[in-house]
Amino acid sequence: MDESPDVTRILQEAARGRRDAVDRAMPVIYEELRRIAQGHLSRERPDHTLTTTALVHEAYMKLVDINQVDWQDRAHFFAMAARQMRRILIDYARRAGRAKRGGDAVLVSLDEATDFPVLRSESLLRLDEALERLEQTNERQCRVVECRCFVGLSVEETAEALDTSPTTVKRDWAFARAWLNRELGGDPDGEDA
């Protein structure tokens, strides 16, 4: 019924240490998240708010047979989804930036996403750049920020998703948060209304 790769199986393989399984899962997760996000954004719903948390959960329910994966696989799904969520939002922000400058009529629906003004601000793109720099010095801290900010996972959930302890996540988060706040605080302009 479904010709796309089986994420449930991929998660099981990833759990057995197959690195390429993760690489295969990423695009599927990306595509599903993007599709769901687009669906939400393009429909006029007067009182809805798009939350990344809800999006990721929706993708999870669609892609994974929850009776066949254990809790660790599920946690890993959230970690992968966090990375893809970041990519999707950055893609939106880039296109919004282009649309603002007069090109790209494709993404008309973005104007309707009034509940998500962050997509139309430069701050998201700057966060992405700062995260890339952080990733080069400390990859795990970058992953922690993705889980916390892009999916809204708690400290405990982030720890499970990244196979580490809550204490480590708390430390990483405290430092990465301060570092990013400082990095992003340097340039006060660049915000749009």
Partner 1 sequence: MHDLAQVQELFEAALNRPREARREYLDELDIEPGLREDVWSLLEAHAAEGPLDQVAAALAHVTDPGPEGAEADDGRSPPVHVGPYRIHEAVGKGGMATVYRARRDDDESTPWVAVKVVRADADSERVRRRFMAERQILARLDHGRIARFLDDGLTSDGRPYLVTEFVEGERLDRYCERVAVDLERRLTLFLDVCEAVEYAHGRGVVHRDLKPDNVLVTADGEVRLLDFGIAKILDRSAFPGIGKPTTTGVHVLTLSYASPEQLRGDPITPSSDVYQLGLLLVRMVTGRVPPVHERSVEPFTVQLAGRTTSPSSPQDEKRLARLEAIITRALALRPGSRPASVEELRAAVEAALADSAHDLAPSTTIEPGQGDTLDLRLVGLGLLVVAVLIVAAVALMG
Interacting residue ranges for partner 1, rule: CB under 8 A = 39-40, 43-49, 51-54, 57-58, 60-62, 66-67, 71, 74-75, 77-78, 89, 114-118, 123-124, 126-127, 137-138, 148-157, 160, 170-171, 173-175, 177-182, 184-185
Closest distance of CB 191 from partner 1, Å: 9
Q: Rounded to whole angstroms, how far apart are CA atoms 172 and 139? A: 10
Contact, 87 vs 124, CB < 8 A? no
- State which residue, 107 or 147, has the beta carbon closest to partner 1: 147
Q: How far is the CB of 102 from partner 1 (least distance, A)?
A: 25
Tokens for 68, please give them. Answer: 């066949």
Shorter beta-carbon distance to partner 1: residue 33 or 180: 180
Amino acid, res. 182 = R
Return the number of the residue (107 or 141) whose C-beta is nearest partner 1: 141
- Between residues 103 and 166, which has the closer beta carbon with respect to partner 1? 166
Nearest distance, CB of residue 109 and partner 1, angstroms: 13
21 backbone dihedrals φ, ψ, rounded to 5°: -60, -40
Closest approach of partner 1 to the CB of residue 157, in Å? 5
CA angle (52, 166, 21) in 5-degree steps: 60
Q: Indicate the residue among 20 and 178 with the shorter CB distance to partner 1.
A: 178
Measured CA to CA in angstroms, residue 70 lies from 16, 75, 101, 144, 156 at distances of 12, 9, 47, 22, 17
* The Cα angle at residue 57 between residues 148 and 7, in degrees rounded to 5: 105
CB 172 within 8 Å of CB 141: yes
Closest approach of partner 1 to the CB of residue 147, in Å? 10
Nearer to partner 1, 20 or 65 (CB): 65
Distance CA 158, CA 167 (A): 11
Shortest gap between Cβ of 158 and partner 1 (angstroms)?
10
The amino acid sitting at 151 is V
